[in-house]
Each structure stands twice: as C-alpha cells, then as structure tokens.
C-alpha cells in the first residue's frame, strides 16, 4: 500500500506527461487564402503541432469565381489561394461546401449586417462552429484562426472574439495565434500543447508586422488583401440581392441565383423583369449554361452580348429588352440591329430594332 500511495502521484505525472507532452497534438486551421491565416498556421506548425486546413465555400466567395467567369486577359488563370497556402505550408486542405447551411447566416443574422448584407460576426461564428464540428469528427484537439484583434470593424473587436468562441461551441479550444498575448489563455496554452511565449501580440489594421513575419518565413507571392473576400461586403452586389428578394416577395436564394448576381450588367427597366447582359466572352460562355431556364437574346447582325431575361415581360417589353441588348453590342451605332429572341418554351423570333442610346438608358435601371 505504501508503495502505491507514493507511486500514484508519479503515475499521474507519467500519464500527464504521456498524454500532454509526447502525443503530437492536432490543430485544424481556418485557411482563407490570405496572409493572416497562413501565418497563424505556420506559427503553430513550427511548434510541432500537426495542422490541417479547412476552407468553407459559401457561394459568396470573391476569390476565384469572378476571375473564373470573366475572360482572362493575357491568359492569366487565377489560382485558388487557400490551396496555394496549403501547398506552401505542406498541409492538407479540406474545402467544404456549406452553401445550404450558410443560407441561415445570410438570411437571419443574429448580430445583424455590416455596411451591406455582410453578416460578418455571425459568419465568423458559423465558420468556427463548422471547424469545431470537423475537429470533433476528425479527433483533432483545437482550432486556429488568423484573426487579429481590432483588424476588422465588426468581427474582430475585443468584445466580439469571445462571442465567436462561445457561440461556435469552440470555447477555449479556439486559439488566435497572431493576437494570443492580448487574449485570455486558451486550453492549448494552459496545457502546454503550444508555447504561449512564441505566439503573437498583433493588434489593429496595420499589416507591417504580418509582412515582416512573411519575410522572415520566406513567404512570397501571397494574396494581397483586395477589398474583402466576400461579395456580401460589396454594395452593388448587396443591392442586387435586395432587389431579388423584393421582386420575389421573400428572402431566400438558390445557388444559381447568387452566382448570376456576380455576372454581367443587371438592368431592371420595368418592375416585372430584369436583364442580365454579359460583359465579355467569358460571361457569354457562363450565361450559356442558363439558356434553358431563361428567355434569352443575342444580336444576330453584329457581334454582341448574350442577355437573359429574368421575369415576364410583355411583347412590347421584349422589344425594349432587344433594344437594350443591341446597345451593348458592336452594332450600338447602327440604325437597326437584328436580335434573336428565344423563349423558354423554344419559340424563336428575330426582331429588327434600333439600339437605345446611352442617354435612353436611365441610371436607375442599373442594379
């Protein structure tokens, strides 16, 4: 008994050491494709932790899509930045389709919207929650993000960060390596899975520290921040989404709806229909995928755009749509342009129309 009573504490210590010091811990990193999440993952990798990345596809991501749709100048094909980051770090990346689940975030944000239809705080909570679910399924130990205290107006304020940890269910398994010293100690720090002394104390919007770190790590060619990663932060895009909800009389969307809002000029000349007019060959090609679903027009006598009609125009309004379509083709200065109109039921007609002049298209028609 005596041996046991003396041995037990040592056994506990041995168990503690075995579990906490020798097991390689596993972290799941939210990888956006930007520099901050890349640095956060690198800091934790350097501490000997096994890191894998997750990237969530909501349907509103700016990166990739717009470039993939629009014609590429100089044949420059854009890469997926999240994959590029993972490739540079030598970690696995799991890109996860969350289009359906994300609708609830966009349509019913508990914390409201930002300047446009961007539900940033709810979005961050959702992403961390999804990462937490992935962590539990994959038996990982903690979550890391590239969040920087005070960098963003809504979701990275000091009072917002605990909200994300709480509402996502991640609690103290959520570590923000770049700002860790300015925040409460998390579980990975308390249990020694990571060394807090090697974590950051970055705050604010300046990116100097991150750029210096990138140089130290030898990262070049990383994506530059370019006005937000999400279409919902864009005022034009948000206006088009609001218009869609207003016309349909309900808030909701399908994946194709939100894709089409990224493409072309959107004009609503009458309340009962709008036109989506391609801006280049890439958009023409993309819109061709929707021909069966929409009445569509294209100029026949001159090179020009493909245009889709969303709504139910009258016969006279179809002529108006043809005149608008002609305006955006190479026959815009011609007296007459032949426009081919294809109804959804397969009926076709060819109209000879006078293209509208620039002045005849009021600015209010543009969404």
Partner 1 sequence: MTRFTLDARNLICPLPVVRTQEKVEHLDSGDELEVLCTDPGALHDIPAWCRIHGHQVVETTERSGDIVVRLRVQKLD
Nearer to partner 1, 82 or 339 (CB): 82
Burial readout 31-69 (b: 16 or more C-beta within 10 A, e: otherwise): bbbbbbbbbbbbbbbebebebbbbbbebbbbbbbbeeeb
Nearer to partner 1, 83 or 281 (CB): 83
List of residues 6+ apart from 253 with CB closer than 8 A: 103, 106, 241, 244
- Per the CB < 8 A criterion, the answer to whether 333 and 306 are in contact is no
CB 74, min distance to partner 1, A? 13
Nearer to partner 1, 55 or 145 (CB): 55
Q: How far apart are CA 294 and CA 344, in angstroms?
A: 6
**Phi-psi sector, 115: left (phi>0), alpha (psi -120 to 50), beta:** alpha
Nearer to partner 1, 82 or 324 (CB): 82
Q: Which residues pair with 338 in a beta bridge?
A: 352
Compute the half-sphere exposure of residue 73: CA atoms within 13 Å on the CB side of its CA. Answer: 1
Q: How far apart are CA 321 and CA 355, in angstroms?
A: 10
Q: How far apart are CA 68 and CA 72, in angstroms?
A: 8
- Per the CB < 8 A criterion, the answer to whether 210 and 35 are in contact is yes
**Phi-psi sector, 75: left (phi>0), alpha (psi -120 to 50), beta:** left
Residues in touch with partner 1 (CB under 8 A): 55, 57, 61, 64-65, 67-69, 72, 77-80, 82-84, 86-87, 90-97, 286, 289
Nearer to partner 1, 202 or 258 (CB): 258
- Per the CB < 8 A criterion, the answer to whether 275 and 324 are in contact is yes
């Amino acid at each position: 008994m005596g041996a046991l009573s003396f041995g037990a504490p040592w056994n506990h210590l041995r168990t503690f050491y075995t579990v906490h010091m020798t097991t390689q811990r596993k972290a799941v990193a939210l990888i956006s494709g930007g520099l901050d999440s890349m640095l956060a993952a690198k800091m934790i990798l350097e501490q000997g932790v096994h890191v894998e990345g997750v990237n969530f596809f909501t349907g509103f991501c700016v990166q990739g899509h717009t470039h993939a749709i629009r014609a590429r100048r100089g044949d420059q094909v854009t890469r997926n930045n999240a994959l590029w980051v993972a490739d540079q770090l030598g970690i696995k990346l799991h890109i996860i389709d969350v289009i359906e689940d994300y609708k609830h975030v966009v349509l019913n944000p508990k914390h409201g919207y930002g300047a446009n239809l961007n539900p940033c705080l709810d979005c961050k909570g959702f992403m961390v929650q999804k990462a937490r679910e992935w962590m539990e399924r994959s038996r990982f130990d903690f979550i890391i993000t590239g969040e920087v205290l005070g960098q963003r107006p809504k979701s990275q304020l000091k009072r917002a960060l605990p909200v994300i940890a709480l509402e996502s269910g991640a609690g103290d398994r959520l570590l923000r390596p770049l700002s860790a010293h300015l925040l409460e100690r998390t579980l990975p720090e308390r249990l020694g899975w990571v060394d807090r002394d090697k974590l950051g104390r970055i705050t604010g919007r300046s990116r100097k520290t991150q750029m210096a770190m990138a140089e130290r790590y030898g990262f070049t060619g990383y994506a530059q921040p370019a006005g937000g990663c999400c279409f919902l932060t864009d005022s034009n895009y948000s206006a088009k989404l609001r218009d869609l909800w207003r016309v349909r009389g309900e808030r909701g969307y399908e994946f194709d709806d939100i894709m089409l809002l990224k493409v072309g000029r959107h004009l609503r000349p009458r309340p009962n229909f709008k036109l989506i007019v391609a801006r280049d060959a890439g958009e023409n090609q993309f819109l061709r995928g929707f021909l069966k679903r929409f009445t569509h027009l294209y100029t026949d006598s001159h090179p020009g755009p493909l245009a889709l009609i969303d709504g139910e125009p009258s016969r006279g309004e179809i002529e108006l749509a043809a005149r608008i379509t002609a305006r955006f083709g190479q026959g815009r200065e011609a007296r007459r342009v032949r426009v081919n109109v294809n109804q959804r039921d397969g009926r076709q007609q060819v109209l000879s129309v006078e293209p509208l002049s620039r002045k005849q298209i009021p600015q209010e028609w543009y969404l």
